[in-house]
Amino acid sequence: MDKSRFDDVQKDIIEQRDKAGIDHFGREELLKKLESTNGQRRVVVSFARPDKSLSQHDIIPFFSMLKSVGQVEAMDMVIVSNGGDGLTAEKMLALCRRYCTGKFRVVVPLYAKSAATLLALGADEIVMGETSELGPIDAQVYLIQDNAEQQVSADHYLRARDDCIKKLSSDDPGEKEAAQIALSLLSPAYLKHCEDLMNFGRDFARRQLQSHMFHAEFTQDNHTWASHIDKIINNLTSTSKHLSHGRMINAEAINADQDLQHLKIFNLSEEDPYWLALTELLLRTEIVSQLNNIGKMFFSIGFNLFSA
């Protein structure tokens, strides 16, 4: 065998080995199945391990993936994410809207929490199934407690402030003094920062729901639908209602909640061909992530980009 032929064969073997390691063919076949069972809607995937948050570092790989797909009339964005930076979610959503000229759906096979829930609210429809969940959208801040960084809702600071203000009118001198001391420990600038973070999430959700998911309804009756949208937002940002930022909000909970039931959720049965292909794709992606220590995966047909 001549040297050039030997090099070609060696290169082919190495490429096949590498593709097997990331299950390139298996995932691509499932993407083709998803697209063919869904009216030729294009599918893109953004997958992140639980410890990997949405960040500005995601913008370029995400944009590159959309660029490889090109402008399309209908798109499904499959997302698995615990959330992260709300500004990143806003940018990713704007890019999706640029490359999808028609119906844009966010597909949640497992979880899309916090900022990823915000992103889902910007869809025309959210696709869910038996393992799917969204979560509250109250903004998170960080504090140092017992020499360890902890995540706390910005709304908790605001609720603590409001509780202290109420107690200032207490007839109990001890309770009133405790409230004064607590208020003195709350920085006005930090409280304003917490308010701005919460208002960002509310504004983001309101603009997206008005412009996309409920665009037709809002145009016909903006008074009624402004009220429905406000109830959805107040529900999803209320720490007193959900108690935990990680609280599961699945399709059944949405349908049973008088505030959230207006959300356009397409709930797939466990035997639906699209759901079956989607869950196998999720399983394969999870295995590839674990075996190769991959933190984030962005892929579509003909495109793969991973990061640790």
Q: Where are the CATH 3.90.226 domain residues in the chain?
A: 22-135+248-307
Closest CA to 99 of 61, 71, 75, 64: 71
Domain 22-135+248-307, second-level architecture? Alpha-Beta Complex (3.90)
- pLDDT in 10s for each residue of the chain, 308 residues: 566 766 776 676 566 666 667 888 899 999 999 999 877 799 999 999 999 999 999 999 999 999 999 999 999 999 999 999 999 999 999 999 999 999 999 999 999 999 999 999 999 999 999 999 999 998 888 877 677 777 888 888 888 898 899 999 888 888 888 989 888 888 899 889 989 999 999 999 999 999 999 999 999 999 999 999 999 999 999 888 888 888 899 999 999 999 999 999 999 999 999 999 999 999 999 999 998 999 999 999 999 999 98
d(CA 264, CA 271): 21
Q: In this structure, what token pair is assigned to residue 114?
A: 């916090």
How large is the C-alpha radius of gyration of the chain? 23
Give the amino acid at 243: L
Residue 297, Cβ neighbours under 10 Å: how many?
23
Residue 157, Cβ neighbours under 10 Å: how many?
21
d(CA 78, CA 285): 12
Closest CA to 252 of 117, 83, 97, 134: 134
**Eight-state DSSP code of residue 258:** T
Are 113 and 89 in contact by the 8 Å Cβ rule? The answer is no
Position 149 scores a pLDDT of 76
Q: In this structure, what token pair is assigned to residue 254?
A: 């949405």
Closest CA to 110 of 86, 88, 85, 82: 82
Torsion, CA 69, CA 35, CA 31, CA 95, rounded to 10: 30
Length of the chain: 308
Closest CA to 141 of 208, 197, 81, 90: 197
Closest CA to 255 of 119, 132, 71: 132
d(CA 302, CA 9): 22
Residue 201, Cβ neighbours under 10 Å: how many?
25
Name 125's Cβ contacts closer than 8 Å, sequence gap at least 6: 103, 105, 106, 213, 264, 265, 266
Reported in sequence order, the residue ranges of 178-300 that DSSP labels E, i.e. its strands, are 265-267, 296-300
Position 235 scores a pLDDT of 95
Q: Please report the sign of the dihedral spanned by the C-alpha atoms of residue 28, residue 31, residue 35, residue 37.
A: positive
Position 151 scores a pLDDT of 81
